[in-house]
Amino acid sequence: MEIFISPSDGPTQTIGQAFADRCQSGGFWTSKSGQNQTLSLDATSLHTRATFTASGASLTSIQKLPGVPGLLDQQPLSVLDLFDQARTNARTIRFIKETSFTNAAAAVAEEGLKPDATLAVEEEDATMRKIAVTIKVTDEMLADHEQMRSFVDSRLGYMVSAYADSELLNGDGTSNRIVGILNVSGIQTHNSSESDSALDAIQEALTKVRTVGHIEPTAVVVNATDWGDFQRTKDNSGQYFFNSPMGVTYGVRGRAAVQTMWGFPCMATSHIAQGTAVVGNFRMGATVFLRGLTIETTNSNEDDFKYNRVAVRAELRLTLAPYKPLAFCAVTNIA
């Protein structure tokens, strides 16, 4: 039996709530040996609140509003959220990659010679790769539905999503890994030692994206430790360049307002190496292709049935298609 989570129909639930509710109703798991059950989630549900539907459920009349509300209470920004996302059933994504662009447009006289622009493109393949993790729980944990809900939401989902964040930045294409944006051939680079400061280096990288990539940046990604150093930077008078520690604006549940650098959203993460940053247009420069997150359970693995255990497995398949490498610039040697 396969159960689907849809991002747009029915009452709002998280992944774990859907899992727990199905357990509680007796429809997702029973004590019979050898049963396998699958919970499949649409790729677009990974960073939004999912809704639960099941085969045979009654239909309701709904009014679907466009867009996704930007709530202050939503899950924290992740690397995956920076990119445009698309669902696919293919194993390989073949896309056209732009390697160079020169705008030669100019004013010409009547019957004058028209200038030739240059646009170099090439085909490239990106193969879907799998991220997976397993963990074992007891029948008693399954019976404790609140604990199971927390387990699915906070453990398996986080493990898979955290590794996906790291891969989208650092994947090197070997050993079944995707090619992350920092290892994409043709992205721009800037060495921080060539600038007056690390902040200047990031601003110069933003300028390269605009002038060489001919595209407006959408975000900055920095290491969390480097971001802390930036926040503590002071001028000669001892005043913080960034917001005063006593003047930060907070949103719902105490979460800080969106942090910015040079006017662009800035994501501080441990998934990028200290001393490295990347800026670019994440929406137009690349797309993440996804197959939905799948959670499967079985008690027929090894000797689990004898010990009243259930093995739970989470899997996600994805790849990155960088259409325009020049839309990104990596900053190195941030001190």
For residue 100, tell me if it sits in a domain.
no
Global pTM reads 0.76
CATH of residue 147's domain is: 3.30.2400.10
> What's the pLDDT score for residue 208?
96
The pLDDT value recorded for residue 234 is: 85
Q: Decide if 11 is inside a domain.
A: yes
How many domains are there within the chain? 1
- Domain-embedded: residue 39: yes
User: Quick one: pLDDT at residue 256?
Assistant: 54
> HEC profile for the chain?
CEEEEECCCCCECCHHHHHHHHHHCCCCCCCCCCCEEEEEECHHHCCCCCEEECCCCCCCCCCCCCCCCCCCCCCCCCHHHHCEEEECCCCEEEEEEEEEEECCCCCCCCCCCCCCCEEEEEEEEEECEEEEEEEEEEHHHHHCHHHHHHHHHHHHHHHHHHHHHHHHHHCECCCCCCECHHHCCCCEEEEHHHCCCHHHHHHHHHHHHHHCCCCCCCEEEEEHHHHHHHHCCECCCCCECCCCCCCCCECHHHCECCCEECCEEEEEECCCCCCCEEEECHHHHCEEEEEEEEEEEECCCCCCCCCCEEEEEEEEEEEEECCCHHHEEEEECCC
Flag whether 218 is in a domain: no
| pLDDT value at residue 132 | 93
For residue 85, tell me if it sits in a domain.
yes
Q: What is the pLDDT of residue 72?
A: 38
308: containing domain: 2-55+76-91+125-173+286-318
Q: Block means of pLDDT (10 residues each) for the chain, length 335 residues? A: 42 61 57 59 48 42 47 59 92 89 87 88 92 88 72 77 94 95 96 90 96 94 93 84 64 60 91 96 95 84 89 91 96 90
Q: Is residue 330 part of a domain?
A: no
Q: Is residue 107 part of a domain?
A: no
Q: What is the pLDDT of residue 36?
A: 65
Asked if residue 146 belongs to a domain, the reply is yes
